[in-house]
């Protein structure tokens, strides 16, 4: 299926990346030909290069440059942290602090060096369901979070939420395996519940403000309803 293009002009293009699709070829996924870069290039018949990254399992807004001159200008905005990136997720448990900044350095998965990392979160909705998902309690509690990524480290949101023990549902690397198994068996969930909702930045050529959102995918909305949340009502709270 063709990729959903949220915005395109002669300089850049923003897509809604599906969960499970690689951004580009990687050594860890050697031999896999399908990725967003190749699909988008063929779809719009243009050279493209990703300006930033999304984990394979993460869905949502992904920005590409359409020529090599615009690429460093867009990357510079990410480097100086002027791009606003908003994510949505569902996690195990309910944080005591309904709004907080997670300021916790992370070790680079490439260099091994410790890097500063900050993620701001806000609890949008809470749920308690009459299922024993871990074997310890008669009910299970979950939270719907809005997150602003202040820095851009590898797996930052997933690692930060694991650090405060509010694991993202469906996270097989940094999450809670018991929760993942429960959601797979109970609701048929096969995906990570992390969505790159919004990008907001200044167009480096036109100087216009670009602010775009990617709609929540079906699997995300399905779990919201299973947890007793109305997706439209939740979205009105965010917007």
Round to whole Å and give the CA distance between 77 and 157: 20
User: Does residue 55 carry a catalytic annotation?
Assistant: yes
CA angle, corner 191, sides to 42 and 157, nearest 5?
A: 90
φ, ψ for residue 127, nearest 5 deg: -150, 145
Round to whole Å and give the CA distance between 132 and 137: 6
DSSP 8-state assignment for residue 77: H
Taking every pair of Cα atoms in the chain, the longest distance, rounded to a whole number of angstroms, is 58
Round to whole Å and give the CA distance between 159 and 113: 16
Catalytic residue (one of 55, 148, 171, 176): 55
Round to whole Å and give the CA distance between 16 and 9: 16
Task: Please give the positions annotated as active site.
Answer: 55
């Amino acid at each position: 299926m063709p990729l959903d293009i949220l915005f395109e002009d002669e300089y850049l293009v923003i897509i809604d990346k599906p969960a499970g699709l690689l951004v580009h070829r990687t050594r860890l996924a050697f031999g896999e030909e399908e990725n967003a870069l190749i699909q988008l290039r063929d779809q719009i018949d243009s050279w493209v290069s990703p300006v930033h990254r999304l984990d394979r399992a993460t869905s949502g807004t992904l920005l590409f440059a359409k020529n090599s001159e615009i690429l460093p200008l867009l990357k510079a905005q990410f480097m100086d942290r002027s791009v606003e990136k908003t994510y949505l997720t569902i996690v195990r448990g309910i944080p005591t602090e309904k709004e907080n900044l997670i300021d916790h350095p992370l070790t680079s998965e490439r260099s091994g060096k410790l890097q500063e990392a900050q993620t701001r979160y806000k609890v949008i909705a809470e749920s308690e369901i009459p299922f024993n998902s871990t074997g310890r309690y008669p009910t299970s509690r979950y939270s719907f979070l809005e997150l602003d990524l202040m820095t851009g480290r590898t797996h930052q949101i997933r690692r930060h939420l694991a650090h405060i023990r509010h694991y993202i549902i469906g996270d097989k690397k940094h999450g809670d395996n018991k929760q993942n198994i429960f959601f797979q068996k109970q609701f048929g969930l096969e995906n990570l519940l992390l969505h790159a909702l919004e990008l907001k930045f200044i167009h480096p050529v036109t100087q216009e403000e670009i602010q775009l959102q990617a709609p929540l995918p079906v699997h995300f909305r399905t779990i919201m309803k299973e947890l007793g949340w109305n997706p439209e009502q939740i979205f009105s709270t965010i917007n």
